[in-house]
Structure 1
Amino acid sequence: MDEQTEHLRDVFLDATGEETVTEQQEASPGSLVDRDEAAVADRIVAIVGTMRERESFETGLSTAAYGRVARGVFGGESDEAIADALDTHEEFGLRGDTGEAIDAKTVRRARLDLHLVRASDREIVAPYAALRQLLADDPDRSAETCARRLDAPIEAVERALPAARADLASARVNDRFRDEFRSLLTDADLSESHAATAREDGLREATEDIETDVSF
């Protein structure tokens, strides 16, 4: 482990207040058995680093901040709550490059960078599957073009576009990063069934009739 990775792991440990797996986690059969917070933190750092190399992140948040966003999402926190948590940890370097306060919009952009799309993101514009298909056919289609083709309000399409692009990016890698975050940050036994339900109910319509080019 290099010095930077070790520092980021320490940031996670300080932020969560835990150093080892809890007694309840030890007693629970699943992905959290024999896995401590240090190992989870190390892996989150690695995942975020890999994603940052593969894709262009939309925010200036640090790797530690992106990890905190992922933890917040799977911990059931709202974007506003995650923003508040990040903004109170500036001593860990969680602010963006500009040094400005972090708000819910920044958190939303960060979690979409991580392919972590909420169900509410997909409910913004009714024909979400059609929007995804338009982007799958032509990733450079503008919001104006999509709104005209879908006969939808431009404001709704503008807000839905980043989520649709994040879903498409995730589909291109078979939801690899999304699933790994889930396995690290939730109980495997519970999350497996929830993940299956989410894919069937929330993503089936979104991915319907869309062909993806999976490339590693």
Structure 2
Amino acid sequence: MNETAWPLLAIAVGAYLLGSLSFAVIVSRAMGLADPRSYGSGNPGATNVLRSGSKKAAAATLLLDAFKGWLPVALLGWFGAGLPPAAAAVAGLAAFLGHLYPVFFGFKGGKGVATAAGVILGWQPLLGLAVVMVWVSVALVSRYSSLAALTAAVLAPALYLAGNGWLWQANAAVLMALSLMGLLLLWRHRENMRRLLAGTESKIGSKKK
């Protein structure tokens, strides 16, 4: 393994372990709530935590899940001088994969929407803001969190390319990581897509069953 690969491996492992902290479960336990994997969609994410009736728990989950995606990328921006250009892409993708497949929770994680948003904000704040606005706009109109996530996932790489050269300078490694995250988000929402087509998908704020 060459000298460049070792730092990237260390970055990937550290970011993955951070991403593996499932804050939906951690916050719910800390606040005395039911495990989010036991009701609603069973997804350990902010939208499902909201079904518990605790807006505070859902907000904390959302912010912490986004934070764990943003932090490793931000740290590289502050202290990563001299590292390969792909380092930020590796850190963000590893944190995202940690959320999807957390080593601390039996590799059964959430769908990654908030963590992906945090990663993108770390890569390029303006792009992150645009993606978040897409999610918010679709969610407000449709009240389907899944539809908002799917729309944002599809548009994120296109928005990144659209801003290249005048809002930011696109990085090939980041584009690849962004595209892979989008594909994984689509895969993780495959059941939601089926329910959307069948008209049985739960809307934001619906109570747990």
TM-score (norm 2): 0.28
When you count helix as a share of all residues, which structure comes out higher?
2
Structure of higher CA gyration radius: 1
**Greater RCO (Cα-Cα under 8 Å, separation 6 or more):** 2
**Scaled by the length of structure 1, what TM-score is found?**
0.28
